[in-house]
Amino acid sequence: MKPLPERFHATLKTPLGWVAILGTPRGVRHLTLPKSTPEEALDAILAEEGSLGPERPDLLTEVMALLERYYRGEPVDFSQVDIDMEGRSSFYKKIWQTLRDLPRGETITYGALAARAGHPRAARAVGRAMAANPYPPIVPCHRVIGHGGRLTGFGGGLRLKAALLRMEGVKLQEGREDWTSASTHG
C-alpha cells in the first residue's frame, strides 16, 4: 500500500457554506468553519498552516460525511474522529479534549470548562484556546459561553454561533445574547 502524504486536504459544500479540511496520517489537522467559497476556506487553512498537500477527499470521506450530516442539523458523534494535535500546547490539548466530552445541546462557561479541565482560574486562557481552536465543530467551541450565559466571541461570528447552538437544540432568547437553556454548565 502506498504511504499517505504528510498532508492532504479536501473541501466540502455544506448547507451553511464551504468547509476545508487539512488531514495528516494522525488525523484532522485543521478544519474551517463554513465560508462563502472553497477558495476562502482553503485560504483560511493556508494562513494558519502554511501548506495543504495534495487534494485527497478519498482520505477524508468519513469526516466529510459527518460534517455534512452535522451542518444539515443531524445529531453527529465526532468522538471517533482522530485529530492531529502535534505541536499544540499541553494546556490547549487538555482544554480541547475536555470540551469534546460536552454533549450536543449543552453549553458551558469559560470558567466551568477551565475548572473541569483542572485549571479553575484559567477562564481567560480558555478563551484563547477557543479562539485558536483549529477543529470546529469536532472540538465544539461554539458551546462555550460567557459568565452569566452571554453569547460571546466566536471566529465565525455570533450569528453563526447562535445558528449552530439552535441547530443543536439550545434555546436562545430572541433578540438577545442570553440563554434560557437549562443545559448550561457553570
Q: How far apart are CA 152 and CA 83, in angstroms?
A: 25
Q: What percent of the chain has pLDDT over 90?
A: 82
How many degrees, rounded to 5, is the angle at CA 69 between CA 129 and CA 105?
A: 55
Segment 38-48 shows an average pLDDT of 96
Q: Kindly state whether residues 109 and 37 are assigned to the same domain.
A: no
Please indicate, yes or no, if residue 146 is contained in any of the structural domains.
Answer: yes
* 8 φψ region: left (φ > 0), alpha (ψ -120 to 50), beta (else): beta
- pLDDT of residue 177 exceeding 80: no
Q: Kindly state whether residues 133 and 174 are assigned to the same domain.
A: yes
Question: What are 55's strand-pairing partners?
Answer: 9
DSSP code, position 33: P
Q: Does the annotation count 141 as an active-site position?
A: yes
Q: Give the range of the structural domain holding residue 37, as residue numbers without chain letter.
A: 8-71
DSSP β-ladder status, 107-109 and 184-185: parallel
- What pLDDT is attached to residue 23? 97
Q: How far apart are CA 37 and CA 179, in angstroms?
A: 32
Q: Kindly state whether residues 109 and 181 are assigned to the same domain.
A: yes
Catalytic residue of the set 115, 141, 151, 164: 141
Please indicate, yes or no, if residue 166 is contained in any of the structural domains.
Answer: yes
Cα torsion 92, 126, 145, 113: sign: positive
Q: Kindly state whether residues 32 and 94 are assigned to the same domain.
A: no
Chain segment 87-146, per-residue pLDDT in tens: 999 999 999 999 999 999 999 999 999 999 999 999 999 999 999 999 999 999 999 999
- What pLDDT is attached to residue 175? 56
- What pLDDT is attached to residue 5? 75
Nearest C-alpha neighbor of 129 from the set 102, 93, 105 = 93
Please indicate, yes or no, if residue 77 is contained in any of the structural domains.
Answer: no
Q: How many domains does the chain have?
A: 2
- If you compute the radius of gyration of the chain from its CA atoms, what whole number of angstroms results? 16
Cα torsion 154, 142, 137, 118: sign: positive
Q: Using DSSP, how many helices (H) and how many strands (E) does the chain show?
A: 6, 6
Q: Kindly state whether residues 31 and 112 are assigned to the same domain.
A: no
Please indicate, yes or no, if residue 154 is contained in any of the structural domains.
Answer: yes
